[in-house]
Amino acid sequence: MNRPLRRLSLVVAFLFFALFASTTWIQFVSADRLNAMPGNSRQLYAEFGRERGAILVQGGAAVATSERVDDPYTFQRAYAAGQLYAPVTGYYSLRYGTAGIERAENDVLSGSADELFYRNLSSLLTGEKPKGADVTLTLQPKVQQAAWDALAGRKGAVVALDPETGNVLAMVSSPSYDPNTLASHDGAAQQQAWTQLNGDEDDPLVNRATSALYPPGSTFKLVTAAAALESGKYTADSALDGPQELDLPQTNNTLKNDEGTACGPNDKVSLSDALKISCNTAFGWLGEQLGAETLGEQAAKFGFGQSLSIPTSVATSRYPTGDAVAGPLLAYSAIGQGNDVATPLQVAMLSAAIANDGVVMKPNLVAKVSEAGGSGSVIEQPSPSELGRAVSSSTAKTLQQMMELVVSNGTGTRAQIDGATVGGKTGTAQHGAGLPPYAWFTSFAEKGGKKVAVAVVIEDGGSTESAYGGRLSAPVAKTVMEAALNG
């Protein structure tokens, strides 16, 4: 071969090599990135052209399905119960992506999960179009509906847990939204809904049960009481200082009781009675005796500071550290004010752990992942798992008895249920001068071997006087607990 031909051959070989290398790079290295690009219409057509799995609740009712439509996308997401389950299901939108379970379980709903590889391979061989798997939630429709109805359109959230498994029985956030508006294939309608929802000052797209952080108010006194009992220095009968006003260190300010009086004769009150009447000065004093480190350690054992995925993401509840809990702030932190923040889910976990003999269970929303179409073939089924032990069994028993006194003869009498053992703790959380406080109630109930723990928060529930958790939130918790016990 003469020299020009050899050179030409080398050039052709080099071009073939370059073509082979670039093709390999695109196919095997850049494929995932290119497929995920927002402007990749092929990927969108392919994803919306595949039948997505359904989202179901206990009893088998589907709350999110894929319906065949006559447009280039083939399928459109439909949400049968609209606002009721929207904070949990989230949405599946062409333009605005996903949220909630639609996002957290997207790989199984879309059929792209590794666990579905062999099933999809089988579908290809038989000529069937691959489908996504169904996801069944732990939510119980009667409990969910009861929580939604009892909240009655007020801003807030309700969470009900099975204390022994951590399963979420109800999760309501209000105001909510209709996810069908975001699932529409009409671009203009979709954009209008998105703009309207994001412009709403009440934030209907936020799942308040897991994403909103509130001062927990007096529900945090359960943590302070637990820390005191666990220290071995206090019992339910221990006498605490409970004056009309508690002097705060490094300041001329005082911590006052809501009723403007001392919590007992000679400014003394037992730990049990302090919880029953929700005495601020006694728990502020107790917090100062225990110290921020002890309170922080106890809060962590209940789940504060832990990152949770249920599998939707959960905001991290926090007990403050350093300067945020120094000086006068320590007493405030002991009563759930100052810089304490918690989600309603975390507040429900307090009661759930106490009702579960001190063991904190990991909250969970997914009961199982199964073959689409009701074949019953289970692909994945999460098992209950422990986050840890918050308190000893004996401390949990003492706290249960103290919480039962709150309901039988304290600030939470509106949560009483005939024939059931009910314990609770009220809370009224200040969050700014002149602003209506948040009304809290956290509780547990047991009847006939069934157990449930519930947390309720109502935002801006009226004036300071009317927003006590026992008046506003305890009746909501009662309704939800009854639905769970009788369901």
pLDDT digits (tens, 9 = 90+) for 287-345: 999 999 999 999 999 999 999 999 999 999 999 999 999 999 999 999 999 999 999 99
Point out the least confidently predicted range of 149-163, 332-346, 365-379: 365-379
Average pLDDT for residues 1-12, to the nearest whole number? Answer: 76
Is residue 218 part of the annotated active site? The answer reads yes
Mean pLDDT of the chain: 91
CA max distance for the chain: 114
Average pLDDT for residues 383-400, to the nearest whole number? Answer: 97
Task: Look at residue 114 in the predicted model and tell me its pLDDT.
Answer: 77
Residue 35, pLDDT above cutoff 70? no
Q: Which comes out higher in pLDDT, residue 116 or 302? A: 302
Residue 10, pLDDT above cutoff 90? no
Range picked from 12-21, 38-47, 66-75, 415-424 for highest mean pLDDT: 415-424
Q: Which comes out higher in pLDDT, residue 69 or 445? A: 445
Residue 170, pLDDT above cutoff 90? yes
Q: What percent of the chain has pLDDT over 70?
A: 91
Q: Is the dihedral of CA 431, 434, 435, 439 positive or negative?
A: positive
Residue 116, pLDDT above cutoff 80? no
Residue 152, pLDDT above cutoff 60? yes
Confidence band for 42, pLDDT divided at 50, 70 and 90: low
Q: What percent of the chain has pLDDT over 90?
A: 74
Average pLDDT for residues 262-272, to the nearest whole number? Answer: 96
Q: Are 472 and 478 within 8 A, CB to CB?
A: no
Average pLDDT for residues 396-423, to the nearest whole number? Answer: 97
Task: Look at residue 376 in the predicted model and tell me its pLDDT.
Answer: 66
Average pLDDT for residues 227-252, to the nearest whole number? Answer: 96
Task: Look at residue 465 in the predicted model and tell me its pLDDT.
Answer: 46
Confidence band for 146, pLDDT divided at 50, 70 and 90: very high
Confidence band for 270, pLDDT divided at 50, 70 and 90: very high
Task: Look at residue 20 in the predicted model and tell me its pLDDT.
Answer: 80
User: Which one of 66, 93, 218, 317 is the catalytic residue?
Assistant: 218
Record the pTM. Answer: 0.90
Average pLDDT for residues 139-155, to the nearest whole number? Answer: 97
Average pLDDT for residues 401-410, to the nearest whole number? Answer: 97
Residue range 91-104, pLDDT digits in tens: 999 889 999 999 99
Average pLDDT for residues 224-241, to the nearest whole number? Answer: 97
Task: Look at residue 466 in the predicted model and tell me its pLDDT.
Answer: 46
Task: Look at residue 127 in the predicted model and tell me its pLDDT.
Answer: 62
